[in-house]
Structure 1
Amino acid sequence: MDENERNAVTFAVLEAAKAEGFECRGSLPAHLLEVDPEVRSMCADNRCRSYNKNWACPPACGTIEEYAKALGALSVCVVVQTAFALEDEFDIEGMQDAERLHKERFDRFASAAKLLRDRAASSPLALAAGACTRCPQCSYPERPCRFPDDAHASMEAAGLIVSATCDAAGIPYYHGKGTIAYTSCLVF
């Protein structure tokens, strides 16, 4: 894909993100994405309680080296974000609502972006916010993933520092007191 085509595809993807309702959208050249093994090691520390319990989480989702290679072969990263105002810092229900809204938006966005396969040099890589929650109970490790084409590993599982990725894409990571933001990206 030449530069004009890449710019046209990037514009189309950003417009699709806008239409989906993401409060923040930005892009950066994929070669600026930094895969940091320390980020991935936080997965092994099981801070989110999904390590070795979900097909879209480590170790089942692939190695850090595989993500570095995949990201290195792609051209553009579009970052999308849902920013949500909370009633107070203990608004767990608001946090859950924001996460659910973001994941619904991102699933639709990533599905629509699969159409890029016709225009981009390779299939896009969708990296989500947090563990896959598509199924009430993940089939890992007893049975294969029920939705392998729709289960997205997280940005952190790929070794990306979310705040640095936001900065490079020109969007805020922190939206101030009383807000929460969920961030995902599509790399093509």
Structure 2
Amino acid sequence: MEAYLIEEMAAEAGFTKAKVIKVEQLVFNADFRRYCEENLCGNYGDNYSCPPDCGTPAQMEARAREYENALVFQTVCEVENMNSQEELAGLKKEHNKRSRAFIRRLKEAGLTGLPMLAGPCDLCRPCRREKGEDCAYPEQISSCLSAYCVQADKMAEACDMIYWGNGRQISYFSLFLYH
């Protein structure tokens, strides 16, 4: 499928902007793994899509580099209160919900690939990992850009997308890597 058609599909799905780039343009920085290890989001070791279960930075990068193309799609949101974790979490959840639906559409159109979302998998709350149970959705699980150690500011720059908003905006990114 042609890149421009995929980008048009993303616009129709409600994303602010979408761009297909080569996976080789993505910058991976293994130093970012420390943010996961600090466990600020509370998912380290408690979510199958997160470290350490998802793999080492080297394994994650190798998995991503198996693909040729990266569809980067973004939602830019106006925010009432940047200090409201509830508001930010709601906006991210909506972005990820739309991302999953869009990825299903891509797969229905015949594209197979590797998804990355804005934040950890949240298909089950709490993740079954916490109870020592197997993942309920192994075919849908997706790790976040942070777990892959993707340098999102460089990615946004390569795509001519907003990374830092005007103080009242936040950008959420998802990727779909494919051949």
TM-score of the two chains, using structure 1 as the length reference: 0.86
Correspondence for 2:168: 178
* Aligned equivalents of 1:128, 1:68: Cα separation in 2: 15
Give the conservation status (yes or no) of the 8 Å contact 2:47–2:53.
yes
Number of positions where the alignment pairs a residue of Structure 1 with one of Structure 2 = 177
- Aligned equivalent of 1:146: 136
Instruction: Report SS of the residue matched to 2:129.
Output: coil
> Residue 130 in 1 paired to residue 119 in 2?
yes
Tell me, what secondary structure is at the counterpart of 1:156? helix
Q: Deviations over 1:87-130 (max 9, x none)?
A: 233344432321121011111112222246x46xxx31100111
Residue type matched to 2:157 in 1?
A: D
- 2:115 aligns to what SS in structure 1? strand
**Unaligned ranges ≥5, structure 1:** none
Name the amino acid aligned to 1:136: R
Consecutive aligned runs of 4 or more in structure 1 exceeding 4 Å deviation:
none
Shift of 1:36: 1.2
| RMSD over equivalenced CA pairs, Å | 1.7
Among 70, 89, 95, which residue is 1:96 paired with?
89
